[in-house]
Amino acid sequence: MFSRLFAKKDDEVQLADHCWRMSVLLLKLLETDENSHKNICLVTNKAFDWIRTDSSENKAIGLNVLRFLFKRQDIIYSRDLLEEVLDIFLSNTTLAVKLAALDFLGAMNTTPNPMTRVSTVEAGRIARFRSNLMEYMNTSQRDYVTDGVNADIAREITGKTFEQALINVISKIDS
């Protein structure tokens, strides 16, 4: 499962699933770390770097990580962050990135709904993608959260500190 986790994804649904899993892995590593404040800063800074790259995969991972950190109240709302995420949503053509941005905007309770800023055709495309993704990910995500992420953490932690494991996962995302 772990090698599959780091494989590059071509299909949009698989890309979205992969990015979500990587984000969950990073957050679960943070939750089990005693030095989490220092590492929260590390992960937050990397997530901001990732949303500013050209890589759709890294951009989606960064958006998911920032959304999770926002929900945990590890980062706070700012107008600049809102505008940056909205710009990503409106300008990026990758559905996995658009959906990650839309979910983050939803977590920030943005009004008006960002979907009103895209064409009807684009809104329909995003809605179909979300529906396909939910079908694909329901069981996959539940299984990953209950078992898979723990196995991935155990593999990453073996012979390392939590911080080393976190840095190792970050370097895999960066590569």
Average pLDDT over residues 94-112: 93
pLDDT band of 142, cuts 50, 70, 90: confident
Neighbouring residues of 101: CB distance < 8 A, sequence distance ≥ 6: 63, 85, 86, 88, 89, 92
| Residue 130 one-letter amino acid | R
Q: Is 1 within a domain?
A: no
Q: CA distances (Å), 22 to each of 4, 73, 82, 93, in order?
A: 11, 20, 23, 21
pLDDT of residue 35: 66
Q: Is 118 within a domain?
A: yes
Q: Is 5 within a domain?
A: no
Q: Which residue has the higher pLDDT, 130 or 10?
A: 130
Q: Give the pair of three-digit tokens for residue 60.
A: 């989606």
pLDDT of residue 3: 47
Q: Which residue has the higher pLDDT, 143 or 60?
A: 60
Q: Are 9 and 18 in contact (CB under 8 A)?
A: yes
Q: Is 141 within a domain?
A: yes
The answer, yes or no, to whether residue 6 has pLDDT greater than 80, is no
Three-state DSSP class for residue 136? helix
Cα–Cα distance measured from residue 148 to residue 24, given in angstroms and rounded to the nearest whole number = 10
Write out the residue range of the structural domain in which residue 158 sits. Answer: 11-174
Average pLDDT over residues 122-142: 86
Q: Is 2 within a domain?
A: no
Neighbouring residues of 108: CB distance < 8 A, sequence distance ≥ 6: 70, 77, 81, 82, 85
Q: Is 123 within a domain?
A: yes
Average pLDDT over residues 89-99: 96
pLDDT of residue 104: 97
Phi, psi of 118 (to 5 degrees): -115, 160
Residue range 21-69, pLDDT digits in tens: 999 999 999 988 766 788 999 999 999 999 999 999 999 999 999 999 9
Q: Is 3 within a domain?
A: no
Q: How many CB atoms lie within 10 A of CB 63?
A: 29
Least confident of 43-57, 88-102, 105-119: 105-119
Q: Is 84 within a domain?
A: yes
Q: How many domains does the chain fold into?
A: 1
Q: Which of 24, 17, 25 is nearest to 132 (CA)?
A: 17
Q: Which residue has the higher pLDDT, 80 or 6?
A: 80
